[in-house]
Amino acid sequence: MRALVVEELAAEYAGCRVKDLPDTTPGPGEVLVKVRAGAVNFPDLMQTRGEHQHKPPVPFTPGMEMAGDVVAVGEGVTDWKPGDAVAGGSRTGAFAEYAVSPAGALHRKPEALTYGQAAGYQVCYLTAWVALVRRAQVQPGEWVLVHGAAGGTGLAAVDLARHLGCRVIAASASDAKLAVIEKEYAPDAVVNVTKGFKDRVKEITGGRGADVIYDPVGGDVFDESVRCIAFDGRILSIGFTSGRLPVLPVNYALIKGFSVMGVRAGEYGRKFPEKGRENNEAIWKLAAEGAMRPRVDREFPLHGWREAFDTLAERTVVGKTIIRPDL
């Protein structure tokens, strides 16, 4: 089978190449999937350089998320059979023609979603669910400011917050991306953050500020968010795509009475296994009902992996980039 392999950790993907690998078989409790789509996430890019907290030993095939068809099951697997359409995966392995996954890490692909949509669903929507529902406990009518709204996790937060009855402000540094979001997801307002956003957010919210701020960007965006968070509000720290870890003067939190909440959806599920199962069941139920609208921006063949990675590195994507080994 063909697969993208990281043979050494290096900048500019210098250690990555597509190779022919021996066929693989599932072990006990595992499932072999013919991959129809693999979704590209920032951790995939970081792993090629050894910069992510999860550091698989080289050589390895990157790719956290996939969707495809079951072709074989290992000993003890009773939930899946050949021909089942599934989505999910593990921390690596999706960017290949075939991938082995723990049986428990897979979900039935909703008929409402394409393979590409299903591949890019879980990580982003699980993050949005844990952030908005578990951590912030958002309420209908609350103002939710979503930074990085054109990215996978940001767009999922826009989609989910609207479904939960919140009033949503989608924020991005690109008018073109905001136009797509406005057309396809109908947030209550959009804000270009390029020249600052705190005054505009206060204007939109009638002076009170946002009740919840979803921040996968960090850096200057976090710094300014502190200045437009409502009293008793919640800032959700999702990540730091800006590259700078912000520092909070705690007197700001004291005076304005707001909370900063860290969000790691996977770790939340590991710390609270029962809640983790509930979280996954909740988001996949929404997908099966057609309530969520994950957006696939572009699809690439396996040999186009570098261009696919660049859509994230250069921030040209609105939603998800997909690698399709069957192209």
Task: Encode pLDDT of 36-58 as tens digits.
Answer: 999 999 899 999 999 988 899 99
pLDDT of amino acid 52 = 85
Report whether pLDDT(148) > 90: yes
pLDDT, tens digit (0-9, with 9 covering 90-100), for 168-225: 999 999 999 999 999 999 999 999 999 999 999 999 999 999 999 999 999 999 999 9
d(CA 324, CA 305): 9
Could you tell me if 214 and 308 lie in one domain?
no
| 8 A C-beta contact, residue 215 and residue 147 | yes
The token pair that represents 13 in the structure block: 């993907």
CATH of the domain at 205: 3.40.50.720
Could you tell me if 117 and 142 lie in one domain?
no
d(CA 5, CA 299): 19
Strands 259-262 and 229-237: parallel
| 8 A C-beta contact, residue 169 and residue 212 | no
d(CA 267, CA 299): 29
pLDDT, tens digit (0-9, with 9 covering 90-100), for 284-299: 999 999 999 999 999 9
Q: Once rounded to an integer, what is the mean pLDDT over residues 66-80?
A: 98
Could you tell me if 106 and 163 lie in one domain?
no
**Do the domain assignments include residue 287?**
no
Q: Once rounded to an integer, what is the mean pLDDT over residues 58-73?
A: 97
Domain that holds residue 136: 123-267
Q: What are the backbone angles phi and psi of residue 119, rounded to the nearest 5°?
A: -65, -40
Could you tell me if 133 and 91 lie in one domain?
no
Residue-level length of the chain: 327
Dihedral sign (CA 269, 275, 281, 285): negative
Could you tell me if 140 and 47 lie in one domain?
no
Could you tell me if 127 and 228 lie in one domain?
yes
CA 298 vs. chain centroid, Å, equals 16
User: Where is 44: in which H helix or E strand?
Assistant: helix 42-47
Q: For residue 90, name the pLDDT band (cuts at 50, 70, 90).
A: confident
Could you tell me if 130 and 80 lie in one domain?
no
CATH of the domain at 112: 3.90.180.10
d(CA 198, CA 213): 12
**Do the domain assignments include residue 200?**
yes
**Do the domain assignments include residue 282?**
no
Q: Is the pTM for the entire model greater than 0.75?
A: yes
pLDDT of amino acid 241 = 86
Could you tell me if 87 and 22 lie in one domain?
yes
Q: What percent of the chain has pLDDT over 70?
A: 100
Report whether pLDDT(22) > 90: yes
- How many CB atoms lie under 10 A from the CB of residue 74? 17
Greatest CA separation found in the chain? 62
d(CA 104, CA 20): 28
The token pair that represents 143 in the structure block: 């103002």
> Quick check: bond before 59 cis, omega within 30?
yes
Could you tell me if 161 and 211 lie in one domain?
yes
pLDDT of amino acid 172 = 98
**Do the domain assignments include residue 275?**
no
d(CA 294, CA 308): 18
Report whether pLDDT(132) > 90: yes
| 8 A C-beta contact, residue 109 and residue 117 | no
**Helix pair angle (273-288, 122-129), 10° resolution:** 120
Q: For residue 122, name the pLDDT band (cuts at 50, 70, 90).
A: very high
- Nearest partner of 115 among 143, 135, 159, 85, judged by Cα: 85
d(CA 75, CA 265): 30
d(CA 267, CA 23): 32
Could you tell me if 73 and 169 lie in one domain?
no
- Our count of domains for the chain comes to 2
Could you tell me if 237 and 134 lie in one domain?
yes
**Do the domain assignments include residue 284?**
no
Report whether pLDDT(91) > 90: no
**Least confident among 57-61, 68-72, 180-184, 243-247:** 243-247
| 8 A C-beta contact, residue 181 and residue 150 | yes
Residues forming a β-bridge with 106: 88
Could you tell me if 177 and 301 lie in one domain?
no
**Do the domain assignments include residue 278?**
no
**Do the domain assignments include residue 280?**
no
| 8 A C-beta contact, residue 61 and residue 95 | yes
Report whether pLDDT(79) > 90: yes
**Do the domain assignments include residue 103?**
yes
